[in-house]
């Protein structure tokens, strides 16, 4: 499906494909690798799409990135993971895997125009098309689980008990290579028509950003365990 | 596809169906109508999934709710809207429309456990399965556009220039009935295993919530236009 070549993988940009070139607002699309990575690394939740019985399913889930590969995990009993695993284990060379679309979106602002028509949102998003395959190599599984924990808080995997054999057996992880990828970014104010500029309606942008609050320790946390530095930094 | 009856539409809960009952963590699933509405009304961006050439596509987009109906809009040239429109206008009674899955997710917290395995996220999400159909009735189109603007800022549609005929012609809106719907909510702290409670790793929840910043007026805004009250309220 992907037209990405080996050469392109080491370049500064992903190679556009028919389905990563938008039909509209093309000026907002980007294939810049550093931008894509930055958007992915800033997120916590992705929306994973797959097809089940011919119909689309979109589920929110945690993810992690290691280089040019994304990982999504869940119970071995969860639907998309079972589907990817079943297909990967199916007959035929190459382990077909599960076609997915993984999307990460950050909302940056509410765009208020004088005209209802030009109301919009400022955002940064990444859309990844590809085939998810179940991770079976034990070393890759551990690397993926570390990445998933570090996506929640960078560096956290080094300050928690690693998964044991029982937990590894209960966890299914799928991987998705970053090959067919695009970012989309809208910034700036509203684009009102010239004849609307004198209308008496306020126009501009209300910035929106996620804010982390004061950490709440578990009720059963030993009071001797101090809040780690990576949670107190601004 | 939906098994929702007319009676259920006026009830306090959506009727679960095979695809709205999760395969795992069933205790987190809810069909409560008020909860679903509250989660939808608090959001700005939904993730709309559809199938194109047999593969899933997930795109972030603005939406609006009017009662038991969601609206998504875009240019008449955008891909899913063209697909819904083309199918709606296609041969055969009943206007088949475009099968979609629309998901809205709010991240509420980062859940840090002593064990890597039990790291998680607190969130509230709504997943809607159904068939999107293009809105063709002019009155419904205006109602939908108002709802889309009011999703950005409640009440804003009354303080902006309504869409004119040219804009209405350039805007395609699809509707999705709230029939096959579920919410999923995770709250609370980590669920560490008993044998891990004495480990020296901090455990608890880091709350996360979107924060709106100070509104930034457009550079071309008449200084005589004051910031409206609905943007200054806390």
Q: Which two tokens stand for residue A50?
A: 């797959």
Show the domain range for A146. 6-209+224-232
In a domain, B1, yes or no: no
Is residue A97, in this structure, part of any structural domain at all? Answer: yes
Residue A36 Cα, gap to closest chain B Cα (Å):
16
Would you call B106 helix, strand, or coil by DSSP?
strand
Burial (Cβ within 10 Å: 0-12, 13-18, ≥19) of residue B86: exposed
Q: Quick one: pLDDT band at residue A22, thresholds 50, 70, 90?
A: confident
Rounded to an integer, the average pLDDT of A86-98 is 56
Angstroms from B194 CA to nearest CA on chain A: 10
Mutation site for B-interface testing, chosen from A107, A161, A162 by largest number of B Cβ within 10 Å: A161
Average pLDDT score over chain B: 89
Asked if residue A228 is part of any domain, the answer here is yes
Residue A86 confidence (pLDDT): 58
CATH number at residue A17: 2.30.110.10
Dump strand ranges (E) for chain A: 29-30, 45-52, 55-66, 69-75, 98-112, 120-134, 171-177, 180-186, 204-212, 216-217
A61-81 pLDDT, tens digit per residue, is: 999 999 999 999 866 566 777
SS3 letters across B165-227: HHHHHHEEEEEEECCEEEEEEECCCCCCCHHHCCCCCCCEEEEEEEEECCCEECCCCCCCCCC
Contact between B66 and A71 (Cβ < 8 Å): no
Residue of chain A nearest B169, judged by CA positions: A117
Give the minimum alpha-carbon distance from B14 to chain A in angstroms, rounded to a whole number: 18
User: B48 to chain A: which residues are within 8 Å by CB?
Assistant: 58
User: Mind telling me how many Å the CA of B132 is from chain A's nearest CA?
Assistant: 12
Residues β-bridged to residue B115: A161
Contact B100 A189 (CB under 8 A): no
- The answer on pLDDT for A1 being more than 50 is no
Contacts B149 to A, Cβ<8 Å: 116, 119
Model pLDDT, residue A84: 74
CA–CA dist A61, B26 (Å, integer): 16
* Range ranked top by mean pLDDT from A11-15, A176-180, B7-11: A176-180
Q: Which residue's structure tokens are 């806390």? A: B234
- Give residue B156's pLDDT band: very low, low, confident or very high (50, 70, 90): very high
Instruction: Answer yes or no: are the C-beta atoms of A151 and A57 closer than 8 Å.
Output: no
Q: What is the pLDDT averaged over residues A187-206?
A: 97
Q: How far is CA B132 from the centre of its chain?
A: 14
Average pLDDT over residues A111-120: 96
A23-48, pLDDT tens digit by residue? 777 888 999 999 999 999 999 999 99
B149 compared with A92, residue with greater pLDDT: B149
Between chains, do B44 and A107 touch, taking CB under 8 Å as contact? Answer: yes
* Contact flag A225-B200 (C-beta cutoff 8 Å): yes
- Give every CB contact of residue A178 below 8 A, 6+ residues apart in sequence: A14, A36, A65, A68, A69, A70, A128
Residue contacts between A and B (CB atoms, under 8 Å): 311
Number of domains into which chain B is organized: 1
Chain A residues with CB under 8 Å of B202 CB are 159, 215, 217, 221, 225-228, 231
CB contact under 8 A, A127 and B156: no
> What is the least distance, in Å, from the CA of A153 to any CA of chain B?
8
Specify the pLDDT at position B178.
98
Please, which pLDDT band fits residue B190 given cuts at 50, 70 and 90? Answer: very high
User: Is residue A60 one of the residues assigned to a domain?
Assistant: yes
Tell me, yes or no, whether A218 lies in a domain.
no
Residues of B in contact with A207 (CB under 8 A): 212-216
Query: Which residue would you say has higher pLDDT here, B10 or A217?
Result: A217
Can you tell me the mean pLDDT for B163-180?
A: 92
Say how many residues make up chain A. Answer: 234
DSSP readout, B115-168? Answer: BGGG-EEEEEEEEEEEEEEE---HHHHHHHHHHHHHHHSTTGGGGSBPP-HHHH
Distance (Å, rounded) from C-alpha B34 to C-alpha B68? 11
CA–CA dist B95, B88 (Å, integer): 4
């Amino acid at each position: 499906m992907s037209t990405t070549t080996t050469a392109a993988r080491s370049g500064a940009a992903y190679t556009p494909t028919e389905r990563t070139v938008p039909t509209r607002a093309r000026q907002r699309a980007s294939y810049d690798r550093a931008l894509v990575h930055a958007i992915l690394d800033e997120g916590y939740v992705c929306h994973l799409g797959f097809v089940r019985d011919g119909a689309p399913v979109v589920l929110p889930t945690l993810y992690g990135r290691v280089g040019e590969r994304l990982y999504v995990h869940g119970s071995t009993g969860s639907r998309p993971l079972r589907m990817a695993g079943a297909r990967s284990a199916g007959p035929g060379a190459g382990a077909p895997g599960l076609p997915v679309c993984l999307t990460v979106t950050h909302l940056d602002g509410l765009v208020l125009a004088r005209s209802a028509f030009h109301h919009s949102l400022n955002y940064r998003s990444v859309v990844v098309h590809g085939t998810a395959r179940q991770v079976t190599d034990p070393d890759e599984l551990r690397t993926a689980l570390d990445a998933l924990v570090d996506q929640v808080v960078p560096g956290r995997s080094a300050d928690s008990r690693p998964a044991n054999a029982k937990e590894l057996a209960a966890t299914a992880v799928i991987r998705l290579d970053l090959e067919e990828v695009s970012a989309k970014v809208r910034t700036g104010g509203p684009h009102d028509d010239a004849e609307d500029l004198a209308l008496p309606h306020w126009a501009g942008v209300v910035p929106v950003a996620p804010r982390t609050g004061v950490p709440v320790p578990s009720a059963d946390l030993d009071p001797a365990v101090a809040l780690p530095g990576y949670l107190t930094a601004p």
